[in-house]
Amino acid sequence: MNDREQGPRTSGPGAAFAGARLHIVTGKGGTGKTTAATALALSLASRGGRVLLVEVEGRQGVATLLGSPALPYEEREMISAPNGGSVHVLAADAEAALLEYLEMFYGMRRAGQALTRLGAVDFATTIAPGLRDVLLTGKATEAVRRRAGGRRRSTDTPADAPFHYGAVVMDAPPTGRIAQFLNVNSEVAGLARVGPIRNHADRVMEVIRSEQTRVHFVTLLEEMPAQETRDGIAEIRGMGLDVGAVVVNMVSPPLLDGAGLAAAAAGELDTAELAAGLKAARLDTARTGEHEALAADLAEEVRAHALRHLLEERVRGELEGLGRPLVELPRLEGGVDRDALSHLARGFAEQGAGQ
Protein backbone atom coordinates (compact mmCIF):
# COMPACT_ATOMS: atom_id res chain seq x y z
CA MET A 1 0.00 0.00 0.00
CA ASN A 2 1.14 3.54 -0.41
CA ASP A 3 0.68 6.31 2.02
CA ARG A 4 -0.71 8.80 -0.37
CA GLU A 5 -4.30 8.08 0.46
CA GLN A 6 -3.55 9.28 3.95
CA GLY A 7 -2.85 12.69 2.46
CA PRO A 8 -4.94 15.80 2.77
CA ARG A 9 -7.51 14.74 0.20
CA THR A 10 -8.96 11.86 2.18
CA SER A 11 -12.05 13.61 3.39
CA GLY A 12 -14.73 16.04 2.31
CA PRO A 13 -16.94 15.47 -0.69
CA GLY A 14 -14.87 17.66 -3.02
CA ALA A 15 -11.69 15.81 -2.12
CA ALA A 16 -12.31 13.17 -4.74
CA PHE A 17 -12.17 15.71 -7.54
CA ALA A 18 -10.14 18.68 -6.27
CA GLY A 19 -7.08 19.42 -8.33
CA ALA A 20 -7.69 16.58 -10.78
CA ARG A 21 -7.52 16.99 -14.55
CA LEU A 22 -7.59 13.35 -15.63
CA HIS A 23 -10.56 11.38 -14.34
CA ILE A 24 -10.42 7.65 -15.02
CA VAL A 25 -13.81 5.97 -14.60
CA THR A 26 -13.89 2.22 -14.01
CA GLY A 27 -16.28 -0.29 -12.40
CA LYS A 28 -17.80 -3.70 -12.96
CA GLY A 29 -19.29 -4.28 -16.40
CA GLY A 30 -22.77 -2.84 -16.79
CA THR A 31 -22.73 -0.74 -13.62
CA GLY A 32 -22.88 2.52 -15.56
CA LYS A 33 -19.27 3.48 -16.35
CA THR A 34 -20.12 5.07 -19.68
CA THR A 35 -23.13 6.87 -18.22
CA ALA A 36 -21.23 8.11 -15.18
CA ALA A 37 -18.18 9.17 -17.21
CA THR A 38 -20.37 11.17 -19.56
CA ALA A 39 -22.30 12.78 -16.70
CA LEU A 40 -19.03 13.64 -14.94
CA ALA A 41 -17.66 15.22 -18.13
CA LEU A 42 -20.82 17.27 -18.48
CA SER A 43 -20.66 18.28 -14.85
CA LEU A 44 -17.04 19.44 -15.17
CA ALA A 45 -17.84 21.30 -18.38
CA SER A 46 -20.69 23.11 -16.66
CA ARG A 47 -18.11 25.19 -14.86
CA GLY A 48 -17.48 26.74 -18.23
CA GLY A 49 -14.48 24.87 -19.57
CA ARG A 50 -13.76 22.50 -22.39
CA VAL A 51 -13.76 18.84 -21.37
CA LEU A 52 -12.66 15.82 -23.37
CA LEU A 53 -14.40 12.49 -22.86
CA VAL A 54 -12.26 9.61 -24.13
CA GLU A 55 -13.71 6.20 -24.79
CA VAL A 56 -11.14 3.41 -25.15
CA GLU A 57 -12.91 0.15 -25.74
CA GLY A 58 -13.94 0.70 -29.34
CA ARG A 59 -17.57 0.01 -28.53
CA GLN A 60 -19.18 3.36 -29.33
CA GLY A 61 -20.80 3.42 -25.92
CA VAL A 62 -20.89 7.21 -25.79
CA ALA A 63 -22.49 7.45 -29.22
CA THR A 64 -25.12 4.93 -28.14
CA LEU A 65 -25.78 6.87 -24.97
CA LEU A 66 -26.09 10.18 -26.83
CA GLY A 67 -28.22 8.60 -29.53
CA SER A 68 -25.78 9.62 -32.25
CA PRO A 69 -24.31 7.62 -35.12
CA ALA A 70 -20.92 5.99 -34.60
CA LEU A 71 -18.23 8.56 -33.86
CA PRO A 72 -15.03 8.78 -35.90
CA TYR A 73 -11.54 8.78 -34.45
CA GLU A 74 -11.39 12.50 -33.74
CA GLU A 75 -12.16 14.93 -30.97
CA ARG A 76 -15.61 16.13 -31.74
CA GLU A 77 -17.76 18.58 -29.82
CA MET A 78 -20.86 16.69 -28.77
CA ILE A 79 -22.57 18.43 -25.87
CA SER A 80 -22.76 22.07 -24.98
CA ALA A 81 -22.85 22.71 -21.27
CA PRO A 82 -24.14 25.63 -19.21
CA ASN A 83 -21.82 28.64 -18.80
CA GLY A 84 -20.30 28.23 -22.25
CA GLY A 85 -18.70 24.90 -21.48
CA SER A 86 -18.51 21.97 -23.89
CA VAL A 87 -17.90 18.25 -23.90
CA HIS A 88 -15.81 16.85 -26.74
CA VAL A 89 -15.73 13.14 -27.39
CA LEU A 90 -12.92 10.97 -28.70
CA ALA A 91 -13.83 7.40 -29.54
CA ALA A 92 -10.31 6.00 -29.47
CA ASP A 93 -9.42 2.57 -30.68
CA ALA A 94 -6.06 0.90 -30.54
CA GLU A 95 -5.74 0.30 -34.24
CA ALA A 96 -6.31 3.92 -35.21
CA ALA A 97 -4.00 5.02 -32.43
CA LEU A 98 -1.24 2.72 -33.68
CA LEU A 99 -1.57 4.01 -37.22
CA GLU A 100 -1.44 7.56 -35.99
CA TYR A 101 1.61 6.69 -33.98
CA LEU A 102 3.39 5.05 -36.90
CA GLU A 103 2.70 8.04 -39.05
CA MET A 104 3.79 10.51 -36.44
CA PHE A 105 7.12 8.91 -35.67
CA TYR A 106 7.97 7.16 -38.89
CA GLY A 107 5.91 8.85 -41.56
CA MET A 108 4.57 5.37 -42.40
CA ARG A 109 1.05 5.97 -43.50
CA ARG A 110 0.85 3.51 -46.40
CA ALA A 111 2.72 0.72 -44.72
CA GLY A 112 0.53 1.16 -41.71
CA GLN A 113 -2.58 0.80 -43.77
CA ALA A 114 -1.24 -2.30 -45.43
CA LEU A 115 -0.47 -3.77 -42.05
CA THR A 116 -4.06 -3.11 -41.04
CA ARG A 117 -5.40 -4.91 -44.08
CA LEU A 118 -3.35 -7.93 -43.21
CA GLY A 119 -4.76 -7.92 -39.72
CA ALA A 120 -1.27 -7.31 -38.45
CA VAL A 121 -2.21 -4.32 -36.38
CA ASP A 122 -4.93 -6.25 -34.62
CA PHE A 123 -2.38 -8.98 -34.17
CA ALA A 124 0.32 -6.73 -32.78
CA THR A 125 -2.00 -5.06 -30.30
CA THR A 126 -3.25 -8.48 -29.26
CA ILE A 127 0.07 -10.20 -28.65
CA ALA A 128 1.36 -7.11 -26.94
CA PRO A 129 -1.59 -5.77 -24.96
CA GLY A 130 0.81 -3.35 -23.31
CA LEU A 131 1.30 -1.72 -26.68
CA ARG A 132 -2.43 -1.32 -27.14
CA ASP A 133 -2.90 0.11 -23.67
CA VAL A 134 -0.04 2.56 -23.85
CA LEU A 135 -1.39 3.92 -27.11
CA LEU A 136 -4.83 4.45 -25.55
CA THR A 137 -3.69 5.93 -22.27
CA GLY A 138 -1.30 8.00 -24.36
CA LYS A 139 -4.20 9.62 -26.18
CA ALA A 140 -5.75 10.73 -22.91
CA THR A 141 -2.55 11.94 -21.27
CA GLU A 142 -1.55 13.87 -24.38
CA ALA A 143 -4.88 15.70 -24.19
CA VAL A 144 -4.25 16.44 -20.51
CA ARG A 145 -0.91 18.06 -21.32
CA ARG A 146 -1.99 19.89 -24.43
CA ARG A 147 -1.84 23.66 -24.21
CA ALA A 148 -3.80 26.30 -26.04
CA GLY A 149 -2.56 27.00 -29.53
CA GLY A 150 -0.46 23.86 -29.87
CA ARG A 151 -1.34 20.29 -30.66
CA ARG A 152 0.52 17.12 -29.96
CA ARG A 153 3.90 18.40 -28.84
CA SER A 154 3.49 20.57 -25.80
CA THR A 155 6.98 21.83 -26.52
CA ASP A 156 5.65 23.78 -29.49
CA THR A 157 3.87 26.17 -27.19
CA PRO A 158 4.96 28.19 -24.22
CA ALA A 159 4.77 26.24 -20.99
CA ASP A 160 2.58 28.85 -19.40
CA ALA A 161 -0.14 28.84 -22.07
CA PRO A 162 -3.46 27.69 -20.62
CA PHE A 163 -4.44 24.06 -21.07
CA HIS A 164 -6.50 23.23 -24.11
CA TYR A 165 -8.84 21.06 -22.03
CA GLY A 166 -9.88 21.92 -18.52
CA ALA A 167 -10.26 18.24 -17.81
CA VAL A 168 -10.16 14.84 -19.49
CA VAL A 169 -12.53 12.04 -18.47
CA MET A 170 -11.85 8.47 -19.56
CA ASP A 171 -14.52 5.79 -19.88
CA ALA A 172 -12.01 3.11 -18.94
CA PRO A 173 -11.92 -0.70 -19.05
CA PRO A 174 -13.77 -2.56 -16.26
CA THR A 175 -12.36 -3.19 -12.78
CA GLY A 176 -10.96 -6.58 -13.71
CA ARG A 177 -8.53 -5.01 -16.19
CA ILE A 178 -8.00 -1.50 -14.88
CA ALA A 179 -4.81 -2.05 -12.90
CA GLN A 180 -3.08 -3.72 -15.81
CA PHE A 181 -4.37 -1.07 -18.18
CA LEU A 182 -2.92 1.75 -16.12
CA ASN A 183 0.31 0.02 -15.25
CA VAL A 184 1.80 1.20 -18.49
CA ASN A 185 5.44 1.01 -17.52
CA SER A 186 5.48 -2.55 -16.41
CA GLU A 187 3.28 -3.50 -19.33
CA VAL A 188 5.77 -2.28 -21.88
CA ALA A 189 8.71 -3.55 -19.89
CA GLY A 190 8.82 -6.65 -22.04
CA LEU A 191 8.87 -4.51 -25.16
CA ALA A 192 11.57 -2.24 -26.46
CA ARG A 193 13.83 -0.80 -23.78
CA VAL A 194 14.55 2.34 -25.74
CA GLY A 195 12.96 4.35 -28.47
CA PRO A 196 9.74 6.24 -28.88
CA ILE A 197 7.41 3.66 -27.27
CA ARG A 198 9.52 3.66 -24.15
CA ASN A 199 9.58 7.46 -23.96
CA HIS A 200 5.93 7.52 -24.67
CA ALA A 201 5.23 5.12 -21.80
CA ASP A 202 7.33 7.18 -19.43
CA ARG A 203 5.42 10.33 -20.23
CA VAL A 204 2.08 8.56 -19.87
CA MET A 205 3.05 7.13 -16.51
CA GLU A 206 4.19 10.51 -15.27
CA VAL A 207 0.70 11.93 -15.81
CA ILE A 208 -1.08 8.88 -14.41
CA ARG A 209 1.00 8.89 -11.26
CA SER A 210 0.65 12.61 -10.72
CA GLU A 211 -1.77 14.33 -8.41
CA GLN A 212 -3.74 15.39 -11.46
CA THR A 213 -5.12 11.90 -11.96
CA ARG A 214 -7.93 10.19 -10.03
CA VAL A 215 -9.43 6.77 -10.58
CA HIS A 216 -13.17 6.70 -9.82
CA PHE A 217 -15.08 3.46 -9.26
CA VAL A 218 -18.70 3.01 -10.34
CA THR A 219 -20.71 0.45 -8.42
CA LEU A 220 -24.25 -0.60 -7.58
CA LEU A 221 -25.52 -1.39 -4.10
CA GLU A 222 -25.04 -5.08 -4.84
CA GLU A 223 -22.60 -7.63 -3.61
CA MET A 224 -20.53 -8.37 -6.71
CA PRO A 225 -19.96 -4.83 -7.97
CA ALA A 226 -19.09 -3.74 -4.43
CA GLN A 227 -16.63 -6.59 -4.09
CA GLU A 228 -14.97 -5.64 -7.37
CA THR A 229 -14.77 -2.05 -6.18
CA ARG A 230 -13.07 -3.13 -2.99
CA ASP A 231 -10.55 -5.30 -4.88
CA GLY A 232 -10.00 -2.65 -7.55
CA ILE A 233 -9.32 0.10 -5.03
CA ALA A 234 -6.78 -2.06 -3.24
CA GLU A 235 -5.01 -2.74 -6.52
CA ILE A 236 -4.99 0.88 -7.63
CA ARG A 237 -3.69 2.04 -4.25
CA GLY A 238 -1.09 -0.68 -4.39
CA MET A 239 0.18 0.86 -7.61
CA GLY A 240 0.49 4.21 -5.87
CA LEU A 241 -2.29 5.87 -7.85
CA ASP A 242 -4.95 8.12 -6.35
CA VAL A 243 -8.46 6.83 -5.91
CA GLY A 244 -11.14 9.49 -6.39
CA ALA A 245 -14.80 8.85 -5.65
CA VAL A 246 -16.86 5.71 -5.29
CA VAL A 247 -19.82 6.44 -7.55
CA VAL A 248 -22.89 4.56 -6.36
CA ASN A 249 -25.16 4.35 -9.37
CA MET A 250 -28.86 3.56 -9.74
CA VAL A 251 -29.82 4.36 -6.16
CA SER A 252 -33.53 4.25 -5.40
CA PRO A 253 -34.78 5.99 -2.28
CA PRO A 254 -36.71 3.93 0.26
CA LEU A 255 -40.43 4.56 0.39
CA LEU A 256 -40.67 4.04 4.13
CA ASP A 257 -38.85 5.55 7.07
CA GLY A 258 -36.25 3.60 8.99
CA ALA A 259 -38.61 2.16 11.59
CA GLY A 260 -41.14 1.17 8.95
CA LEU A 261 -38.44 -0.57 6.94
CA ALA A 262 -37.16 -2.50 9.91
CA ALA A 263 -40.65 -3.65 10.84
CA ALA A 264 -41.50 -4.61 7.27
CA ALA A 265 -38.28 -6.55 6.85
CA ALA A 266 -38.97 -8.45 10.05
CA GLY A 267 -42.42 -9.35 8.73
CA GLU A 268 -44.05 -7.18 11.40
CA LEU A 269 -45.78 -4.74 9.14
CA ASP A 270 -49.04 -3.43 10.55
CA THR A 271 -51.29 -5.05 7.97
CA ALA A 272 -54.46 -4.05 9.82
CA GLU A 273 -53.47 -0.41 9.45
CA LEU A 274 -52.52 -1.02 5.84
CA ALA A 275 -55.93 -2.59 5.17
CA ALA A 276 -57.65 0.34 6.88
CA GLY A 277 -55.72 2.74 4.67
CA LEU A 278 -56.67 0.82 1.54
CA LYS A 279 -60.27 0.85 2.62
CA ALA A 280 -60.14 4.60 3.22
CA ALA A 281 -58.72 5.03 -0.28
CA ARG A 282 -61.90 3.58 -1.82
CA LEU A 283 -60.14 1.58 -4.49
CA ASP A 284 -62.29 0.16 -7.25
CA THR A 285 -60.00 -2.79 -7.45
CA ALA A 286 -60.52 -3.83 -3.89
CA ARG A 287 -64.20 -4.54 -3.84
CA THR A 288 -65.86 -4.96 -0.50
CA GLY A 289 -64.16 -7.47 1.63
CA GLU A 290 -60.99 -7.68 -0.42
CA HIS A 291 -59.04 -5.11 1.55
CA GLU A 292 -57.44 -7.73 3.69
CA ALA A 293 -56.28 -9.78 0.73
CA LEU A 294 -55.02 -6.69 -1.06
CA ALA A 295 -53.22 -5.58 2.08
CA ALA A 296 -51.56 -8.99 2.26
CA ASP A 297 -50.38 -8.66 -1.33
CA LEU A 298 -49.00 -5.18 -0.82
CA ALA A 299 -47.44 -6.11 2.50
CA GLU A 300 -45.44 -8.75 0.72
CA GLU A 301 -44.21 -6.18 -1.79
CA VAL A 302 -43.29 -3.83 1.03
CA ARG A 303 -41.43 -6.60 2.80
CA ALA A 304 -39.36 -7.41 -0.29
CA HIS A 305 -38.65 -3.71 -0.75
CA ALA A 306 -37.53 -3.41 2.86
CA LEU A 307 -35.29 -6.48 2.67
CA ARG A 308 -33.71 -5.17 -0.49
CA HIS A 309 -33.17 -1.82 1.12
CA LEU A 310 -31.52 -3.29 4.19
CA LEU A 311 -29.19 -5.27 1.95
CA GLU A 312 -28.36 -2.05 0.11
CA GLU A 313 -27.67 -0.32 3.40
CA ARG A 314 -25.26 -3.06 4.33
CA VAL A 315 -23.43 -2.69 1.02
CA ARG A 316 -23.39 1.09 1.41
CA GLY A 317 -21.83 0.68 4.85
CA GLU A 318 -19.10 -1.50 3.36
CA LEU A 319 -18.47 1.05 0.63
CA GLU A 320 -18.23 3.85 3.19
CA GLY A 321 -15.61 1.79 4.96
CA LEU A 322 -13.36 2.16 1.90
CA GLY A 323 -12.54 5.67 3.03
CA ARG A 324 -13.38 7.50 -0.17
CA PRO A 325 -16.25 9.93 -0.70
CA LEU A 326 -19.41 8.32 -2.10
CA VAL A 327 -21.20 10.07 -4.93
CA GLU A 328 -24.75 8.76 -5.27
CA LEU A 329 -26.63 8.87 -8.55
CA PRO A 330 -30.35 8.07 -8.68
CA ARG A 331 -31.89 5.28 -10.73
CA LEU A 332 -33.76 7.07 -13.49
CA GLU A 333 -36.88 5.52 -14.83
CA GLY A 334 -37.13 4.90 -18.54
CA GLY A 335 -33.39 4.92 -19.28
CA VAL A 336 -30.91 7.72 -19.75
CA ASP A 337 -31.62 10.49 -22.26
CA ARG A 338 -30.03 13.94 -22.45
CA ASP A 339 -32.22 15.41 -19.72
CA ALA A 340 -31.41 12.49 -17.52
CA LEU A 341 -27.71 13.06 -18.20
CA SER A 342 -27.97 16.69 -17.11
CA HIS A 343 -29.71 15.49 -13.99
CA LEU A 344 -26.89 13.05 -13.23
CA ALA A 345 -24.33 15.76 -14.03
CA ARG A 346 -25.94 18.04 -11.45
CA GLY A 347 -25.73 15.17 -9.01
CA PHE A 348 -21.96 15.06 -9.57
CA ALA A 349 -21.68 18.84 -9.22
CA GLU A 350 -23.58 18.89 -5.95
CA GLN A 351 -21.50 16.06 -4.57
CA GLY A 352 -18.09 17.51 -5.05
CA ALA A 353 -17.27 17.74 -8.76
CA GLY A 354 -18.61 21.29 -8.79
CA GLN A 355 -15.73 23.18 -7.21
Ligand X SMILES: Nc1ncnc2c1ncn2[C@@H]1O[C@H](COP(=O)(O)OP(=O)(O)OP(=O)(O)O)[C@@H](O)[C@H]1O
Ligand Y SMILES: Nc1ncnc2c1ncn2[C@@H]1O[C@H](COP(=O)(O)OP(=O)(O)O)[C@@H](O)[C@H]1O
Smallest gap from residue 301 Cβ to other proteins (A) = 6
Tell me which residues in 247-276 interact with Mg ion (CB under 5 A). Answer: none
Tell me which residues in 166-225 interact with Mg ion (CB under 5 A). Answer: none
Tell me which residues in 30-49 interact with Mg ion (CB under 5 A). Answer: 33-34
Strands 86-91 and 76-80 turn out to be: antiparallel
Tell me which residues in 80-139 interact with Mg ion (CB under 5 A). Answer: none
Q: Which member of 63, 71, 102, 251 binds other proteins (CB under 8 A)?
A: 102
Q: Point out which span in 81-89, 209-217, 218-226, 240-248 binds other proteins (CB under 8 A).
A: 218-226
Q: Which member of 224, 234, 266, 338 binds other proteins (CB under 8 A)?
A: 224
Measured at CB, which residue is nearest to Mg ion?
34
Q: Which member of 260, 323, 330, 354 binds other proteins (CB under 8 A)?
A: 260
Strands 86-91 and 22-27 turn out to be: unpaired
The closest alpha carbon to 321, from 244, 249, 261, 246, belongs to 246
Tell me which residues in 46-65 interact with Mg ion (CB under 5 A). Answer: 61
φ and ψ at residue 207, rounded to 5 degrees:
-65, -45
Count of residues touching other proteins (by CB under 8 A): 69
Cβ closer to other proteins: 64 or 355? 64
The percent of the chain in helix, strand and coil, each rounded to the nearest 5, is 55, 15, 30
Quick one: DSSP state of residue 53? E
Smallest gap from residue 61 Cβ to Mg ion (A) = 4
- Angle value at C-alpha 25, between 47 and 193, nearest 5 degrees: 115
φ and ψ at residue 148, rounded to 5 degrees:
-55, 140
Ramachandran quadrant class, 307 (left: phi over 0; alpha: psi -120 to 50; beta: rest): alpha
Cβ atoms of 246 and 326 closer than 8 Å: yes
162 binds, among Mg ion, other proteins, ligand Y, none (CB under 5 to 8 A by kind): none
Q: Please, which residues have CB within 8 angstroms of residue 128's CB and are 6 or more apart in sequence?
A: 190, 191
How many angstroms separate the CA atoms of 107 and 111, rounded? Answer: 9
Residue 262 near other proteins by CB under 8 A = no
Strand ranges in 47-153 using DSSP code E only, listed in sequence order: 50-55, 76-80, 86-91
34 binds, among ligand Y, Mg ion, other proteins, none (CB under 5 to 8 A by kind): Mg ion
Tell me which residues in 194-213 interact with other proteins (CB under 8 A). Answer: 195-197
336 binds, among ligand Y, other proteins, ligand X, none (CB under 5 to 8 A by kind): ligand X
Residue 274 near other proteins by CB under 8 A = yes
Strands 167-171 and 50-55 turn out to be: parallel
159-165 contact pairs (CB < 8 A, 24+): 163/21, 164/50, 165/21, 165/49, 165/50, 165/51, 165/52, 165/88
On the 0-12 / 13-18 / 19+ scale of CB atoms within 10 A, 307 is middle
Smallest gap from residue 315 Cβ to Mg ion (A) = 19
304 binds, among other proteins, ligand Y, Mg ion, none (CB under 5 to 8 A by kind): other proteins
Cβ closer to ligand Y: 226 or 286? 226
Smallest gap from residue 216 Cβ to ligand X (A) = 12
Point out which residues bind other proteins (CB under 8 A).
Answer: 28-30, 59, 102, 106, 108, 110-111, 114-115, 118-120, 123-124, 126-129, 131, 180, 190-193, 195-197, 222-224, 227, 252, 255-256, 260, 269-270, 273-274, 276-278, 280-286, 290, 293-294, 296-305, 307-308, 311, 333, 335
